[in-house]
């Protein structure tokens, strides 16, 4: 299942984004984009087993698209879309072949043009403000993440996307230690900072005592894109996410080879319908066929609208006597995966920015900081980009029980790291594996899934598996024996961060 | 279950202890069958009493004070105490068995001359609930057998707190009679404001806890303040026995800062290469802000309202704090 999520993200988001950036570059559009490639995503992109499966998956979808062209011959509108998807999957395969299966290499290539800045994230996307009882655990999330990103991307990263934008005062210490010079922060975290920031989110702030800057999120521009009701992605011409041939196709025998091993229905990425109208009026079954040309036109319109709103903000900032900086961060998977036309929207946005106006100019955070701007020194407050800007989404009735175990695992890890000064090679392997399992139980995905209520069993299973492996190895180490088969099994299943060193928890 | 057993085998197979080991809904159902009225408003003790009378069960035996005390305690609490003392299979025991084992254990501890302090656990990492082969499954342990209390900040209004107790502490508490509310001791979470000075110099806030809670959402007494919690027992005369102390947390400001100082700096190009130097002392403690405004700022409220998210906070005992 997790593999399916990854495949969808690749052929709906990452490959389209790469193709978009290549298109902009070949047309001489000087775009600027900052992307966090999380360590876990990098690990998946670099995993050879997954690379093979991804290629196989896309090839299979291409085959399906070809069959679909035949199956839908009686409906010209739908058949045109089958052609459209065949083209799409061909492009995806071409991209995979070009980068030898490792998409992270393509991102590195584009970074070299200076248009794309790559930043890191917490090692396993642990929500740091809820790990505070053990500073060592927070530090390891940051340091392991930054080290692994540098390893994968070939040079150190200068910025971090704090998991869920979760900042807690004092964590800048670990960012500085990891050589990270900037992070992003929710608007409320800056605005209530101390002293009161002069420009709110229109300029970054610098934290006291450390060479670390924080870029506050611009709320209106986030909202404009995020909200499915008021924002762009809900436009009736855009593609309907929930009408997928994987669910719609009535011919069981025909579709079965493309579904999971157990024949259960799942998204395959061939979606033939558009949103059409408000969900209260148009049921899923009554949707009209998707028209890529009309949708593209809407994406262009929305890009123009967004640009005009950015210009207004810039003009407002000019009254404050500064060149305002607008920070608009989004989940990468919003573009392409959830909002199919989102990638085209970014494409149009940069083209219009370059050709049609000279008020708004794109910039990366490092470019801004290197330009040696004076930055106001402000101490921001604890915040996240979740509900109410707080930790509530990850800490409530549905998931709070997890934390006592997550914290205990961290405490045990710290104990192990201090106790084993000179481990045997086998002990060292077990200690490093404990560190991996600890990082994996800290992922904010688990409390997130428990809260949203979908695929809860999966989250519970993953949590309990990682806890079991951690606890098994921990008890083995403490009682003087290490179960080698358990260790081997854990190393094989959770093989992330091959070069991790457990002493990071000292 | 009791219901069926009684119907099947009559009162010969039944004791008040067995009744006491049943869940309240089962007892209420039973009350309906044997004609006890007003059962829905009765406490469990009353229910057992009335049911016992109505069913003609013999009255309980004469017992020593320690046992009586334990019998006054809820089954859940007894079970937890037993687990804390490392009693195997406590989850499947009924109340009578629990009382018997706990009183024996408690005497054992007392005669071993426990030194009476809130000692830390020797078997710190000893607890594992299941004997399943390692790596196959993980049962979340009820307790880790360590004295601890942990604070987390959820948002500017609420803190989340959980705690755990070692077997030694439990034994000591039982031996001292502190687990029995009749002795005037209350289980309390004491929240110290440590913004302006070390623990004990500032105000504190007591939250009285019930026997079964293992965690609590508590209203933050103030914003832009730092807190440390202690878990412990407070006597009727105000005597305080702390068992564990928490980490320090800082509750964020939810208003605009009144500090208008403007100071600039740059992230110098060199800084992009500078490793972390020593002596730059920002930690949780030195993060002290200025006074916050009394009223919520409108823009701020809008900002928060506009933050994306879709969760709602489902109720949990959230207690308004009394001034300590």
Tokens of B320: 């308004």
CB of A173 within 8 Å of a chain B CB? The answer is yes
Inter-chain touch B262–A222, beta carbons under 8 Å: no
Residue B118 pLDDT: 32
- A376, closest residue in chain B (CA to CA): B264
Judged by DSSP in three states, A472 sits in helix
> What confidence tens digit (pLDDT) does each residue in A138-181 have?
999 999 999 999 999 999 999 999 999 999 999 999 999 999 99
Q: Is the pLDDT of residue A13 over 50?
A: yes
User: Which of A64-78, A306-320, B263-277 holds the top average pLDDT?
Assistant: A64-78
Separation of alpha carbons B303 and B308, rounded Å: 10
> What confidence tens digit (pLDDT) does each residue in B292-306 have?
333 334 555 555 555
Inter-chain touch B266–A390, beta carbons under 8 Å: no
What number is the average pLDDT over the span A286-301? 96
Q: Cis omega before residue A195 (within 30°)?
A: yes
CB of A274 within 8 Å of a chain B CB? The answer is no
Judged by DSSP in three states, A483 sits in coil
To the nearest whole Å, the CA of A13 is away from the closest chain B CA by 22
Name which of B69, B32, B61, B60 is nearest B47 in CA terms.
B32
To the nearest whole Å, the CA of A476 is away from the closest chain B CA by 9
To the nearest whole Å, the CA of A340 is away from the closest chain B CA by 21
Inter-chain touch A376–B289, beta carbons under 8 Å: no
Q: Give B251-296 as a DSSP string.
A: EPP-S-BS-----EE---GGGGTPPPPS----STTT----PBPSSP
Give me the residue from A158, A405, A478 closest to B140, CB to CB: A405
Residue B307 pLDDT: 47
> What confidence tens digit (pLDDT) does each residue in A213-232 have?
999 999 888 888 877 667 89
- Provide, rounded to the nearest whole percent, the portion of chain B with pLDDT above 70: 62
- Using pLDDT thresholds of 50, 70 and 90, give the confidence band for residue A119: very high
Q: What is the ipTM score, two decimals?
A: 0.93
Tokens of A148: 């692994």
User: Of B252 and B57, which is predicted with more confidence?
Assistant: B252
Give me the residue from A186, A370, A374 closest to B264, CB to CB: A374
- Using pLDDT thresholds of 50, 70 and 90, give the confidence band for residue A245: very high
Residue B137 pLDDT: 59
Residue B285 pLDDT: 28
To the nearest whole Å, the CA of B91 is away from the closest chain A CA by 19
Q: What pTM does this model have?
A: 0.79
What number is the average pLDDT over the span A208-215? 95
Give me the residue from B135, B247, B267 closest to A213, CB to CB: B267
To the nearest whole Å, the CA of A413 is away from the closest chain B CA by 12
Judged by DSSP in three states, B215 sits in strand
Inter-chain touch B287–A181, beta carbons under 8 Å: no
CB of A370 within 8 Å of a chain B CB? The answer is yes
> What confidence tens digit (pLDDT) does each residue in B129-186 have?
333 333 345 789 989 999 999 999 999 999 999 999 999 999 999 999 998 878 999 9
Residue A467 pLDDT: 96
Is residue B264 a contact partner of residue A374, using CB atoms and an 8 Å limit? yes
User: Of A326 and B41, which is predicted with more confidence?
Assistant: A326
Residue B292 pLDDT: 30
Name which of B160, B228, B176 is nearest A397 in CA terms.
B160
Mutate to test the interface with A, among B150, B307, B317 (most CBs of A within 10 A): B307
> Which chain B residues contact residue A476 at CB under 8 A?
134
- B145, closest residue in chain A (CA to CA): A408
What number is the average pLDDT over the span A46-74? 96
Q: Is the pLDDT of residue A279 over 90?
A: no
- Using pLDDT thresholds of 50, 70 and 90, give the confidence band for residue A369: very high
What number is the average pLDDT over the span B51-69? 66
- Using pLDDT thresholds of 50, 70 and 90, give the confidence band for residue A75: very high
Inter-chain touch B259–A209, beta carbons under 8 Å: no
Inter-chain touch A177–B310, beta carbons under 8 Å: no
The number of C-beta contacts closer than 8 angstroms across A and B is 223
> Which chain B residues contact residue A192 at CB under 8 A?
252-257, 300
Three-class SS of A222-237: HHHHHCCCCCHHHCCC
- Using pLDDT thresholds of 50, 70 and 90, give the confidence band for residue A115: very high
């Amino acid at each position: 299942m997790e593999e399916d999520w990854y495949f969808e993200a690749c052929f709906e988001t990452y490959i389209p984004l790469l193709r978009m950036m290549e298109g902009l570059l070949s047309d001489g559009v000087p775009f600027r984009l900052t992307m966090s490639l999380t360590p876990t995503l990098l690990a998946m992109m670099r995993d050879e087993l997954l690379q093979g499966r991804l290629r196989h998956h896309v090839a299979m979808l291409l085959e399906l698209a070809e069959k679909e062209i035949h199956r839908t011959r009686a409906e010209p509108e739908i058949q045109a879309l089958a052609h459209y998807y065949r083209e799409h999957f061909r492009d995806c395969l071409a991209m995979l072949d070009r980068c030898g299966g490792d998409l992270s290499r393509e991102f590195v290539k584009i970074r070299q043009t200076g248009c794309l800045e790559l930043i890191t994230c917490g090692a396993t996307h642990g929500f740091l403000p809820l790990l505070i009882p053990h500073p060592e655990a927070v530090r390891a999330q940051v340091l392991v993440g930054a080290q692994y990103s540098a390893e994968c991307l070939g040079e150190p990263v200068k910025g971090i996307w704090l998991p869920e934008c979760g900042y807690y005062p004092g964590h800048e210490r670990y960012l500085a230690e990891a050589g990270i010079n900037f992070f992003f922060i929710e608007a409320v975290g800056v605005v209530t900072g101390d002293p009161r920031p002069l420009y709110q989110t229109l300029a970054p702030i610098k934290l006291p005592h450390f060479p670390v800057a924080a870029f506050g999120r611009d709320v209106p521009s986030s909202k404009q894109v995020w909200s499915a009701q008021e924002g762009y992605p809900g436009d009736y011409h855009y593609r309907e996410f929930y009408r997928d041939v994987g669910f719609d196709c009535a011919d069981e025998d025909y579709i079965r080879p493309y579904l999971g091993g157990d024949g259960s229905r799942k998204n395959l990425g061939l979606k033939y319908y558009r949103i059409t109208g408000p969900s209260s009026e148009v049921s899923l079954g009554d949707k009209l066929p998707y028209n890529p040309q009309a949708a593209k036109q809407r994406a262009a319109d929305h890009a123009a609208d967004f640009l005009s709103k950015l210009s207004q903000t810039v003009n407002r900032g000019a009254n404050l006597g500064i060149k305002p900086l607008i920070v608009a961060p989004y989940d990468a998977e919003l573009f392409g995966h959830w909002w199919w036309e989102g990638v085209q929207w970014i494409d149009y946005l940069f083209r219009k920015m370059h050709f049609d106006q000279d008020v708004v100019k794109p910039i990366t955070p490092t470019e801004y900081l290197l330009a040696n701007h004076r930055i106001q020194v402000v101490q921001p407050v604890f915040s996240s980009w979740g509900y109410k800007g707080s930790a509530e989404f990850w800490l409530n009735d549905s998931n709070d029980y997890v934390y006592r175990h997550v914290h205990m695992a961290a405490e045990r890890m710290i104990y192990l790291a201090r106790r084993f000064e000179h481990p045997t090679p086998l002990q060292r392997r077990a200690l490093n594996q404990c560190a991996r399992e600890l990082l994996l139980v800290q992922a904010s995905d688990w409390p997130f899934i428990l809260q949203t209520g979908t695929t809860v069993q999966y989250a519970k299973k993953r949590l309990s598996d990682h806890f079991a492996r951690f606890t098994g190895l921990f008890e083995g180490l403490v009682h003087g024996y290490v179960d080698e088969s358990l260790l081997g099994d854990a190393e094989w299943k959770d093989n992330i961060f091959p070069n991790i060193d457990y002493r990071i928890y000292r | 279950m009791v219901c069926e057993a009684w119907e099947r085998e009559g009162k010969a197979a039944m004791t008040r202890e067995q009744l006491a080991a049943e869940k309240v809904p089962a007892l209420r159902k039973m009350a309906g069958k044997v004609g006890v009225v007003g059962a829905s408003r009765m406490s469990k003790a009353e229910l057992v009493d009335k049911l016992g009378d109505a069913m003609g069960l013999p009255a309980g035996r004469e017992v020593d004070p320690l046992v009586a005390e334990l019998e006054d305690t809820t089954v859940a609490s007894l079970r937890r105490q037993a687990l804390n003392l490392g009693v195997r299979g406590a989850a499947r025991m009924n109340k009578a068995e629990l009382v018997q084992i706990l009183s024996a254990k408690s005497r054992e501890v007392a005669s071993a001359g426990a030194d009476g302090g809130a000692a830390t656990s020797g078997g710190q990492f000893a607890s594992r609930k299941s004997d399943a082969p390692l790596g196959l499954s993980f049962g979340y342990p009820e307790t880790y057998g360590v004295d601890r209390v942990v604070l987390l900040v959820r948002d500017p209004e609420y803190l989340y707190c959980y705690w755990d107790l070692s077997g030694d502490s439990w034994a000591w508490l039982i031996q001292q009679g502190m687990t029995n509310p009749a002795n005037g001791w209350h289980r309390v979470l004491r929240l110290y404001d440590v913004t302006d000075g070390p623990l004990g110099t500032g105000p504190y806030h007591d939250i009285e806890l019930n026997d079964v809670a293992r965690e609590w959402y508590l209203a933050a007494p103030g914003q832009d303040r730092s807190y440390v919690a202690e878990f412990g027992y407070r006597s009727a005369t105000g005597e305080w026995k702390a068992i564990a102390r928490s980490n320090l947390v800082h509750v964020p400001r939810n208003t605009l800062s009144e500090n208008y100082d403007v100071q600039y700096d740059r992230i110098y190009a060199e800084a992009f290469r500078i490793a972390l130097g020593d002596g730059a002392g920002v930690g949780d403690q030195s993060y002290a802000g200025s006074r916050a405004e009394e009223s919520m700022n409108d823009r701020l409220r809008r900002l928060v309202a506009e933050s994306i998210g879709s969760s709602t906070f489902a109720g949990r005992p959230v207690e308004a704090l009394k001034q300590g």
